[in-house]
A = this chain, B = another copy of it.
Amino acid sequence: MPDTALASCSLTPGASELHALFAPRSVALVGATDREGSVGRALLENLCGFGGELYPVNARRSEVLGRRAWTSLTAVGRPVDLAVIATPAATLPEVIRECAACGVKGVVIISAGFKETGPGGVELERRVLAEARKAGVRLVGPNCLGLMSPHAGLNATFATAMARPGRVAFLSQSGALCTAILDWSFRQQVGFSAFVSVGSMLDVGWGDLLHHFGEDPDTGSIVLYMESVGDAAAFMEAARIVAAKKPVIAIKVGRTAAAARAAASHTGAMTGSDDVLDAAFERAGVLRVDTIEELFDMAEVLAKQSLPQGPALAVVTNAGGPGALATDALVRAGGVMAGLSVPTLERLDQCLPAHWSHGNPVDVLGDADAGRFTEALRAVAADPGVHGLLTVLTPQAMTHPLPVAQALIDVAQTTDKPVLASWMGGDAVEEARTLLNKAGLPTYDYPDEAARAWQFMWQRQERLRLLAETNRVACLERPTMSVAREIITGHRAAGRGLLNEAEAKQVLAAAGIPVLETVSARTPDEAVQAAERLGFPVVLKLQSRVIIHKTDVGGVQLDLKDEGSVRAAWSRVENAVPADAFDGVGVQRMVKDGGLELICGCVQDAQFGPVLMFGAGGVMVEVLQDRVLLLPPLSPMLAMDRVRRTRIHHALQGTRHLAAVDMDALTDVLVRLGDLVLAVPEILELDINPLVATAAGVLALDARIVIRA
């Protein structure tokens, strides 16, 4: 289970195990050849640019591409840090054994022909991994394009060019996408600290790579193209630790069922529910984007700019329309336009023409020169209610794009607040854009793009706060839930799978969750006894292992005010169903209407383990689908952050019909539910429906639990 073991809480991992892969002193290429058009030749040509030792290995040649070649790794006779392997899949177990014998520390397996070919390939993979594990050799691949380490001058791929050095580590599960991104990156002048095609992640996976680049001083941000999560626990642990230090931005294909099928069909990867993945990314502080364009936009801006200390953006513009565009985009992305203080407004009144916009966006008007821009920018940047600045320029008749850009750069140097720029247009603003970029100010073609980038920056800041809490909570010792565990163990011993309402509520009560007590009664006398203890009026509910929808068969009898009514109700329930479907009744207090009906529960996700669900309850629950997922362990703050994403959240704060509900009690239930399912993983499914919330607290009115047989 992710996040549960204390061992996984280390925030300072040691020197990276992957050092040999990305900063080797010596590299061997197994499968080097000069055959035209071959992968082995493309690899050799690329590796020739490497500054350290290079050992081409070819069983039948003493020279390849005019370089000396060795007939085997053993024949090299000198230390090899990294081996890049392009020989057929069947040779791999033997090659890895030889690598281990020669002290190779890292291996990149370019070769394909493993699990994607069927059971034989799966067995081959198993043998390769066993050899590597035995010797502590780390493997990238198989079935990949390879990797590049531009700062080390290492191009261990068969791509057609070397990436530019930069501060983005790009990790991709699609080799083809690597080649397209690489080609695109030259034109966009995007540079990389590493460029890794991860292949089928037989050994080195997302977790290892995140840890490595989290520690790598050359890496400012980490960008992932994911098709499958692989080892979810390792990913989650690495992500939450690394994302607290540098931005981790991911695009994960398979958002939709159809896309998931598309991805699965070509990687053989299993893809879990996308909603769970969203929740997991949020928890781990990974920013998820939807387009390749956003992926790199965000990587750039987050690596470049300091983060805002608050959400409020001010826009200074020489045209009203673009200012309104920026405002629209910001507010639609959930952002906040800064309100300007009275002193700021007064200062602007002094430096701007009378018909300036008198608010944010600050329209300095079409004839603004650099001086007027400067004064407005200074005034706005000084406002404590402004957390960042977007400056928009449209090239009008009186506009001088270059001096205004210089003015913005000067103002940016006097403030800690992030500064973004949108110089709109083409050639008329090109020189100014270049100047802004050189000064480290992110520029955008359109102000709406800039506003969305700002909102990403603020989300990143907010995530850091939640991430600190997540990492704190992950290190706490969690309750053992020994009483609940004992009850479950007892039911398992009795061969039970589905617990009835009374049994489920015992488990919840043991976990400290407020329940409306249900007493099982096997006879009318027991029912009357229970009613007298609980207090009239009561409700009788059919208990049955075969009938699920109790109400439909008349199995629920409401508002029973005395002993006589209870006995009469017993008979009605007993007579309503076949004798072998009748396992007695549950007796509980009659609760009058009132309070908000909520639903919460838990399922076991194949990848991420226990996942909680919270949302609106009632008969419309299936239609409204107003729910969020939560990954335990939780704290009240983490629970609250997720609850806030539901629509029903507005009702929790009070409506015309209802007082605001007790949020502490509600988040406490979610925290305890999380602790329960972490401590007792034998709980496969758990539903509380409804959980009724009022100003006085919350109460589980009905519940069911399914346990592992």
Chain B residues near A626 (CB-CB < 8 A): 624
Determine if A61 is an interface residue (Cβ-Cβ < 8 Å): no
Partner of A321, one of B225, B291, B293: B225
In the complex where A183-B429, A426-B185 touch, is A319 in contact with B177 (Cβ < 8 A)? yes
Partner of A655, one of B267, B328, B359, B622: B622
The reply to whether A397 and B331 contact each other, CB–CB distance below 8 Å, is: no
In the complex where A176-B366, A184-B425, A448-B291 touch, is A263 in contact with B324 (Cβ < 8 A)? yes
The reply to whether A262 and B179 contact each other, CB–CB distance below 8 Å, is: no
The reply to whether B319 and A395 contact each other, CB–CB distance below 8 Å, is: no
Stretch at the interface among A253-261, A481-489, A599-607: A253-261
Chain B residues near A225 (CB-CB < 8 A): 321
In the complex where A327-B262, A331-B259 touch, is A355 in contact with B116 (Cβ < 8 A)? yes
The reply to whether B446 and A291 contact each other, CB–CB distance below 8 Å, is: yes
The reply to whether A332 and B426 contact each other, CB–CB distance below 8 Å, is: no
> CB-nearest residue of chain B relative to A183?
B425
Within 8 A of B (CB), among A105-163: 116-117, 158-160
Chain B residues near A324 (CB-CB < 8 A): 227, 253-254, 259, 262-263
The reply to whether B255 and A328 contact each other, CB–CB distance below 8 Å, is: yes
The reply to whether A648 and B623 contact each other, CB–CB distance below 8 Å, is: yes
> CB-nearest residue of chain B relative to A182?
B425
Determine if A60 is an interface residue (Cβ-Cβ < 8 Å): no
> CB-nearest residue of chain B relative to A621?
B655
Tell me, in angstroms, the Cα distance from A177 to B357 when the chains sit together: 17
Partner of A424, one of B117, B180, B620: B180
Partner of A647, one of B290, B623, B648: B623
> CB-nearest residue of chain B relative to A325?
B253
Determine if A592 is an interface residue (Cβ-Cβ < 8 Å): no
The reply to whether A174 and B320 contact each other, CB–CB distance below 8 Å, is: yes
The reply to whether A292 and B446 contact each other, CB–CB distance below 8 Å, is: yes
Determine if A438 is an interface residue (Cβ-Cβ < 8 Å): no
Determine if A449 is an interface residue (Cβ-Cβ < 8 Å): yes
Tell me, in angstroms, the Cα distance from A226 to B648 when the chains sit together: 35
Determine if A619 is an interface residue (Cβ-Cβ < 8 Å): yes
> CB-nearest residue of chain B relative to A336?
B258
Chain B residues near A323 (CB-CB < 8 A): 262, 266
The reply to whether A397 and B328 contact each other, CB–CB distance below 8 Å, is: no
The reply to whether A428 and B183 contact each other, CB–CB distance below 8 Å, is: yes
> CB-nearest residue of chain B relative to A320?
B266
> CB-nearest residue of chain B relative to A616?
B620
Q: What is the distance, in angstroms, from A645's C-beta to the closest C-beta of chain B?
A: 14
> CB-nearest residue of chain B relative to A251?
B325
Partner of A623, one of B173, B328, B366, B650: B650
Determine if A361 is an interface residue (Cβ-Cβ < 8 Å): yes
Partner of A322, one of B176, B261, B327, B329: B176
Within 8 A of B (CB), among A412-444: 424-429
> CB-nearest residue of chain B relative to A177?
B321
The reply to whether A160 and B651 contact each other, CB–CB distance below 8 Å, is: no
Partner of A318, one of B176, B322, B328, B366: B176
Within 8 A of B (CB), among A309-355: 318-325, 327-329, 331-332, 337, 355
Chain B residues near A267 (CB-CB < 8 A): 320
Chain B residues near A428 (CB-CB < 8 A): 160, 183
Determine if A363 is an interface residue (Cβ-Cβ < 8 Å): yes
Chain B residues near A188 (CB-CB < 8 A): 426
> CB-nearest residue of chain B relative to A397?
B158
In the complex where A320-B174, A647-B625, A656-B622 touch, is A256 in contact with B331 (Cβ < 8 A)? yes
Tell me, in angstroms, the Cα distance from A651 to B291 when the chains sit together: 33
The reply to whether A174 and B322 contact each other, CB–CB distance below 8 Å, is: yes
In the complex where A424-B184, A623-B651 touch, is A174 in contact with B321 (Cβ < 8 A)? yes
The reply to whether A328 and B259 contact each other, CB–CB distance below 8 Å, is: yes
Determine if A265 is an interface residue (Cβ-Cβ < 8 Å): yes
Determine if A8 is an interface residue (Cβ-Cβ < 8 Å): no
In the complex where A116-B355, A290-B448 touch, is A186 in contact with B647 (Cβ < 8 A)? no
Partner of A319, one of B174, B183, B396: B174
Within 8 A of B (CB), among A383-408: 394-398
Determine if A492 is an interface residue (Cβ-Cβ < 8 Å): no
The reply to whether A258 and B325 contact each other, CB–CB distance below 8 Å, is: no
Determine if A445 is an interface residue (Cβ-Cβ < 8 Å): yes
Tell me, in angstroms, the Cα distance from A318 to B625 when the chains sit together: 37
- Residue pairs across A and B with Cβ atoms less than 8 A apart, 26 shown, are A37-B397, A37-B398, A172-B321, A173-B321, A176-B321, A177-B322, A179-B394, A179-B396, A179-B397, A180-B319, A227-B324, A253-B321, A253-B324, A253-B325, A256-B331, A258-B331, A259-B328, A262-B323, A262-B360, A266-B323, A290-B328, A290-B329, A291-B449, A623-B648, A623-B651, A625-B647
Interface residues of A (CB under 8 A from B): 37, 39, 42, 116-117, 158-160, 172-177, 179-180, 182-188, 225, 227, 251, 253-259, 261-263, 265-267, 290-293, 318-325, 327-329, 331-332, 337, 355, 357-361, 363, 366, 394-398, 424-429, 445-446, 448-449, 616, 618-620, 622-626, 647-648, 650-651, 655-657
Known: A256-B332, A258-B331, A265-B358. 7 other contacts (CB 8 A): A37-B397, A227-B320, A263-B321, A291-B448, A291-B449, A620-B651, A622-B656
Closest 4 CB pairs of A and B: A174-B321, A176-B319, A183-B425, A266-B320
